[in-house]
Amino acid sequence: DADVTQTPRNRITKTGKRIMLECSQTKGHDRMYWYRQDPGLGLRLIYYSFDVKDINKGEISDGYSVSRQAQAKFSLSLESAIPNQTALYFCATRDTRESPYNEQFFGPGTRLTVL
């Protein structure tokens, strides 16, 4: 969905490096999410944000941190990357202002490889 963009789309880095993945949305949605996808495991939630001042840990937050710099921007950081963080990372947004059960919209993903 072009309304949710992620940068970079691909990144190769080395163990111990700090990495930031960025997500921007033009949909005006209140909630934003970071997931990682691994083969056979589906999508697992890393962090989510209800708004700029409300950040919450997801299922697998260890080794990650996030920042909601603005309503439209939500970045994910790996403070010291390790090889088992090699995965496909997705940002998503959701509009819950009128209904808590609206669908999520996903960005195109960032493929991260940690050597």
Partner 1 sequence: AQSVAQPEDQVNVAEGNPLTVKCTYSVSGNPYLFWYVQYPNRGLQFLLKYITGDNLVKGSYGFEAEFNKSQTSFHLKKPSALVSDSALYFCAVISSGSARQLTFGSGTQLTVLP
Nearest to 6 by CA among 114, 105, 115, 100: 105
Q: CB of 108: closest distance to partner 1 in angstroms?
A: 5
Nearer to partner 1, 54 or 79 (CB): 54
Q: CB of 67: closest distance to partner 1 in angstroms?
A: 20
Q: CB of 53: closest distance to partner 1 in angstroms?
A: 17
Distance of CA 113 to the CA centre of its chain: 16
User: What is residue 83's three-state secondary structure?
Assistant: helix
Which residues of the chain form contacts with partner 1 (CB under 8 A)? 1, 4, 40-45, 48, 58, 90, 92, 96, 100-101, 103-109
Nearer to partner 1, 13 or 104 (CB): 104
Backbone φ/ψ region at 40: left (φ over 0), alpha (ψ -120 to 50), beta: left
In one-letter notation, the amino acid at residue 51 is D
Nearer to partner 1, 12 or 41 (CB): 41
